[in-house]
Structure 1
Amino acid sequence: MEIIRYAELKAHPWRNGGGVTRELASHPTAAATQDSTAGGWDWRVSIAEVSKAGDFSAFPGMDRVLTVLEGELLLLSVDGAEHPLEKYRPFRFSGDAAAAGALPTGDIRDLNVITRRGVFKGYTSIIELSKKRAHPVFEGQLGILLQGQAAVTPGTAGTQLGTPSGGETAPGTAADSPGTPGAEPTPLARYDAVVGSDTGTPEILGRGFLAVVSIDRVGD
């Protein structure tokens, strides 16, 4: 079972100086591409802190899903059209578009899922956790604790339960899953990410909200 600890991630400044980004995961990895900010990957999941209004970096040939995690509002302009983005409301747009952000209510933090068009497609769903019903995280997914208290255990190998890869959703309800009897739960801190697996599928229990990021290969 793999956990990415947010507190251990290095912050990389934006090219325009408007914030910093911490990469949770990418493919190929940053080590393989030498520079994770240059777009030499086919997909990337990151969390950004935005403290200054201004242009977003362009990612030609990519698609983006952006979700505000902290702060009240991001006013996103995409090719001249304004989109008010509220907390926990994922929004999809093209990385080719001219995009800029304004901060009418102050600084924000957001989750970014960027995928190479025609190769991968990314989805972000926000679910409400339960202490009685574990939420499984499958292969090709990341489960990111956004708020509250939660712990993860290795689940039952080969479990077929779960939330199918879907579109952008508002907070919903976790799926039932029994977990592995006797498994010691590992506590999660805010923004820690659990890497999904179909063998010993990790299962998350707690109170709060979880972002489930699914990266699907196009054509699979």
Structure 2
Amino acid sequence: MDIIRYADLKAAPWANGGGVTRQLAAGLGTAVTLGSGAKGDAWDWRISIAEVAKAGPFSPLPGIDRVLTIIDGDLVALTVDGVEHALEKYRTFKFSGDSDTSASLPTGALMDLNVMTRRGAFKGYATILELSKKRPHPVFAGQFAVLLQGQATAAPAADAAADDGGSEPGAPVTLGRYDAVVGSEAAPEISGRGFLAVLSIDPAGD
């Protein structure tokens, strides 16, 4: 079971001084990088968390589809091709990296979770859900689950231990805020109280 610890990620400052970005994972073809990659690495999909300190325009990303979710802070006013969208916390929003996009921060600095996919190669999805202690949430292959708020643990699924010849799953691992659990065929399970972002990266042909 792979866990990406937010505290271990490197902060990459923006060229315009408006914030920093931490990469959780990225992929190029079938190759996957967990955690921070080298600056300037090529990718077909990328998951990151940004700290946004100043209002301003977004850098253009031709050929990239984006899903943005505010995860800390109250509100962002996102203007996409002249149309303003007021995005509250935990509301996912899809838009094109080709669009002329800018953001204003009416309630101050914030953090956002970003899923970016190269059009024609991959598709990205984001869902925000509430965790339960009684009904663990599985994380399947091609998914990443990010703890946004609350307390939670991750553990290998019970049937994974049986498949490996064991009798019990491994001990649960405590997650910190913004830690990410990497999905797999064994489908590790997350339980607790709080909110979870489940991000899916699917090949475009699926």
Please list the CA deviations of residues 91-134 of structure 1 after superposition, one character each: whole Å capped at 9, or x if unmatched: 00000011111000111100000000011000000010001110
Instruction: Give the 3 Å change call, closer, same or farther, for CA 198–182 of structure 1 in structure 2.
Output: closer
Instruction: Give the 3 Å change call, closer, same or farther, for CA 213–185 of structure 1 in structure 2.
Output: same
Asked if residue 209 in structure 1 is aligned to residue 178 in structure 2, the reply is no
Asked if residue 69 in structure 1 is aligned to residue 107 in structure 2, the reply is no
- What residue identity is the alignment partner of 1:203? E
Asked if residue 56 in structure 1 is aligned to residue 43 in structure 2, the reply is no
- What residue identity is the alignment partner of 2:126? T
SS in 1 for 2:50: strand
Alignment-derived partner of residue 198 in structure 1: 185
- What residue identity is the alignment partner of 2:191? L
Structure 1: distance between partners of 2:8 and 2:169: 29
Structure 2: distance between partners of 1:205 and 1:57: 37
- Per the TM alignment, residue 181 of structure 1 is displaced from its structure 2 partner at its CA by 4.0
- Per the TM alignment, residue 35 of structure 1 is displaced from its structure 2 partner at its CA by 2.8
What's the TM-score once normalised by structure 2's chain length? 0.90
- What residue identity is the alignment partner of 1:205? S
Structure 1: distance between partners of 2:62 and 2:175: 35
Q: What are structure 2's unaligned runs of at least 5 residues?
A: 161-166
Structure 2: distance between partners of 1:206 and 1:57: 37
- What residue identity is the alignment partner of 1:197? S
* Contact preservation (8 Å) 2:154, 2:189: yes
* Contact preservation (8 Å) 1:16, 1:55: no
Alignment-derived partner of residue 5 in structure 2: 5
SS in 1 for 2:7: helix
Percent of aligned pairs sharing the same letter: 62
* Contact preservation (8 Å) 2:4, 2:34: no
Structure 2: distance between partners of 1:49 and 1:99: 17
Return the match for 2:143 from 141, 144, 151: 141
Please list the CA deviations of residues 125-170 of structure 1 after superposition, one character each: whole Å capped at 9, or x if unmatched: 0010001110000000000000000000001457xxxxxxxxxxxx
Structure 1: distance between partners of 2:104 and 2:150: 28
SS in 2 for 1:44: strand
Runs of 4+ in 1 over 2 A off after TM superposition: 28-31, 33-36, 180-183
SS in 2 for 1:7: helix
- Per the TM alignment, residue 17 of structure 1 is displaced from its structure 2 partner at its CA by 1.1
Alignment-derived partner of residue 183 in structure 1: 170
Alignment-derived partner of residue 164 in structure 2: none
Structure 1: distance between partners of 2:45 and 2:13: 19
- Per the TM alignment, residue 15 of structure 1 is displaced from its structure 2 partner at its CA by 2.0
Structure 2: distance between partners of 1:59 and 1:78: 13
Q: What are structure 1's unaligned runs of at least 5 residues?
A: 159-179
- Per the TM alignment, residue 58 of structure 1 is displaced from its structure 2 partner at its CA by 1.2
Asked if residue 15 in structure 1 is aligned to residue 15 in structure 2, the reply is yes
Structure 2: distance between partners of 1:48 and 1:112: 8
* Contact preservation (8 Å) 2:6, 2:178: yes
Alignment-derived partner of residue 39 in structure 2: 35
- What residue identity is the alignment partner of 1:149? Q
**RMSD between superposed Cα atoms in Å:** 1.7
